[in-house]
Amino acid sequence: MSTAGKILASGICRSDDHVLSGALKENFPIILGHEAAGVVESVGEGVTTVKPGRDFGIPTGLMYDGTSRFTYKGQPIYKFIGTGTFTEYTVLHEDSVAKIDAAAPPEKVCLIGCGFSTGYGAAINSAKVEPGSTCAVFGLGGVGLSAVMGCKAAGASRIIGVDINKDKFAKAKELGATECVNPLDFKKPINEVLFDMTDGEGVGYSLEVIGRTDTMLAAMASCNMNYGTSVIVGVPPTVSEITFSPSLIFTGRTWKGSIFGGWKSKDSVPKLVSDFMQKKFTLDPLITHTMPFDKINEGFELLRAGKRIWSSGLNGLTWPEIMAFVVFWCFKNPSGEESDSDSDPCELSSPRSTDHTIHNGISLGKNRFYYVASSNAIVD
């Protein structure tokens, strides 16, 4: 029950960079990327929720059989979170694709495939922010700003942004933060600062959108000790652990995590896109760069330098004709049986051209991050 499609736009998320840095442990070689919008070009047997043509999709989940539809010289190439959207053409399980409004701009709504939905939903669905409440958002990157938007949409009367980069404060206030603080400006711990700012009450809700264990503890300790709720949104390093005093939660605090903002992706993504098209929220302030696919490495550098919120990568600004890496016959061999042989048609080859090389890579020690590139890419 798979679909083959063309990726039109994909966001660069911090989680992708965590894989490159080693903070998240994944198998290599790997195609990163997990928030994208594209068009379905062919479908496998039994697929009913999308069809070829103007049905756009946003990858939102995993392939169930644990296999990859991408191989190179008989060896599997893995896809990050089962999606791997840093590619021009891909194959996804039907459940990983949500049908959305075909008029939606892919370079914007691709963010609904992960980052925006994660932050926005963490406030609305996971924290369940109430009208008139006080919130603190730790980390004002793209997901953190989306959490600020979620707190505002939920009716919070006070939203405190927390970040060590003051350059992010103006954008945070534009999107709903009532004030912003830099922990480096204080000699006392940030949780004590927030208690002082709230007359000793603490915040009703805190959202940690960084992925560090120290800020997770600080966010929790910033909450009201009897009824405060803290939500872990940032992706923690694979090997990280937290040690804390039971008294931190014994008095009544609630500590919880949030994946994809608590949305049921297959149902919620189309609705979020519809809400965007109806101007119930905006995505434009979250996009600082729109770049062609061959500038993906520059997008990562901007991310690491803190100079971008989100970079939305387009597979060619003029939508050039590019080779199809996967097509419908990738799922079955001529006999109708699934094949895992070296001659499997799921090999990354093109029905339009066979004179090409397939990958471009960024070295990472003994590992290599692969993204599927266009016909002039090389393997080095």
Q: What is the 3-state secondary structure (H, E, C) of 140-177?
A: CCHHHHHHHHHHHHHCCCEEEEECCCHHHHHHHHHCCC
8 Cβ partners below 8 Å, 6+ apart? Answer: 36, 37, 38, 39, 56, 106, 107, 110, 314, 315, 319
The reply to whether 356 belongs to the active site is: no
**What is the identity of the amino acid at 13?**
C
- pLDDT higher at 29 or 59: 29
Distance, in Å, from the CA atom of 69 to the CA atom of 5, rounded to the nearest integer, reads 13
Distance, in Å, from the CA atom of 89 to the CA atom of 258, rounded to the nearest integer, reads 30
Cβ atoms < 10 Å from Cβ of 352? 11
Is the domain of 101 the same as that of 134? no
What pLDDT does 266 receive? 79
The reply to whether 359 belongs to the active site is: no
* pLDDT tens figures, 170-229: 999 999 999 999 999 999 999 999 999 999 999 999 999 999 999 999 999 999 999 999
Give the 3-state secondary structure of residue 120: helix
Domains of the chain: total: 2
Is the domain of 255 the same as that of 157? yes
Give the 3-state secondary structure of residue 297: helix
Give the 3-state secondary structure of residue 337: coil
* Sign of the four-CA dihedral 255, 111, 347, 363: negative
Supply the CATH number for residue 254's domain.
Answer: 3.40.50.720
Is the domain of 130 the same as that of 251? yes
Is the domain of 109 the same as that of 140? no
- Intra-chain end-to-end CA distance of the chain, in Å: 34
Q: Write down the catalytic residue from 15, 42, 222, 312.
A: 15
- Look over the chain and give the mean of its residue pLDDT values, rounded to a whole number: 75
The reply to whether 223 belongs to the active site is: no
* pLDDT class of 48 with cuts at 50, 70, 90: low
Which among 259, 292, 325 is the end of a domain?
Answer: 259
Q: Write down the catalytic residue from 18, 96, 230, 359.
A: 18
Q: Is 307 part of a structural domain of the chain?
A: yes
The reply to whether 15 belongs to the active site is: yes
Q: Is 266 part of a structural domain of the chain?
A: no
Is the domain of 297 the same as that of 319? yes
Q: Write down the catalytic residue from 2, 10, 34, 93.
A: 34
Q: Is 272 part of a structural domain of the chain?
A: no
Q: Write down the catalytic residue from 2, 42, 96, 114.
A: 114
* pLDDT tens figures, 247-304: 899 999 999 999 889 988 778 888 999 999 999 999 989 887 787 877 878 877 877 7
CB 23 within 8 A of CB 44: no
* DSSP code of residue 114: T
Q: Write down the catalytic residue from 10, 13, 126, 359.
A: 13
* pLDDT tens figures, 80-109: 777 777 777 777 777 777 888 888 888 888
Is the domain of 254 the same as that of 299? no
Q: Is 57 part of a structural domain of the chain?
A: yes
- Which of 210, 205, 209, 207 minimizes the C-alpha distance to 227? 205
Supply the CATH number for residue 289's domain.
Answer: 3.90.180.10
Q: Is 380 part of a structural domain of the chain?
A: no
- Which of 28, 88, 96 minimizes the C-alpha distance to 348? 88
The reply to whether 34 belongs to the active site is: yes
pTM score, two decimals? 0.73
Is the domain of 173 the same as that of 95? no
Q: Is 271 part of a structural domain of the chain?
A: no
Give the residue numbers spanning the domain of 222: 125-259
Q: Is 171 part of a structural domain of the chain?
A: yes
Question: Residues 47-69: what's their mean pLDDT?
Answer: 60
Is the domain of 152 the same as that of 231? yes
Bond from prior residue into 106 cis (ω within 30 degrees of 0): no
Is the domain of 246 the same as that of 138? yes
Is the domain of 129 the same as that of 255? yes
Q: Is 359 part of a structural domain of the chain?
A: yes
Is the domain of 245 the same as that of 359? no
